[in-house]
Amino acid sequence: MYIRFFKVIFDVFWSLVLLAVLFPLLLFVYLILLMIHKSNPIFYQKRVGQFGENFTILKFKTIKADSSSNLFLKFLRKTKIDELPQLVNVIKCEMSLVGPRPDLPGYYDQLQGGNRSILDLKPGITGYASIEFANEEEILSQQENPLEYNDQVIFPEKVKLNLKYRNNISFGLDIKILIKTLLLPFK
């Protein structure tokens, strides 16, 4: 029952509250990024959602040709503020606050057997794998072949963590994951 009804109500309610409370921050970030990019600062990308259906995820653009020297863009990525526009995806019922992070086509949509049950869930803004690999960008930057490392090490571990979440999903677990996510920047 929690998965179908209460989770949607909880997600949409808290996303609306967060958007209202965070509106000044979101507007500030939007305007700064508008000046940096000189174009729409929202990034749109196709991702794999529930049941393997594609949807368009929203993020603040934090990649720019000279972004390696832009501390503001780095700060947005490190603090995950760039992910906050996904609250709109939650309100549209394309995502959940907690669940497997939505991946690019070619990963979750290619899962076989029992692993494919991950697709029963709406993708989330945060989850077990998001917490475990909060520094994924840093990990990959240290690899000789980042794509190979992602495909052979990180992605299989994410699948295990997302299956663990799917098999133990509950309101209490979602609250625990949300609290851990909120505490990540203070580690």
Q: Count how many domains the chain has.
A: 1
Task: Give the per-residue pLDDT at 68.
Answer: 57
Please write the tens of the pLDDT for every residue from 48-62.
999 999 999 999 999
- Per the DSSP assignment, residues forming a β-bridge with 57 are 45
b/e map of 49-62 (b: 16 or more CB within 10 Å)?
Answer: bbeeeebebbbbbb
Please write the tens of the pLDDT for every residue from 10-52.
999 999 999 999 999 999 999 999 999 999 999 999 999 999 9
Residue 86 has pLDDT above 90, yes or no: yes
Please write the tens of the pLDDT for every residue from 106-115.
888 888 999 9
Q: Find the helix packing angle between 7-37 and 71-79, rounded to 10°.
A: 170
Q: What is the pTM of this model?
A: 0.91
What is the domain extent for residue 66?
2-186
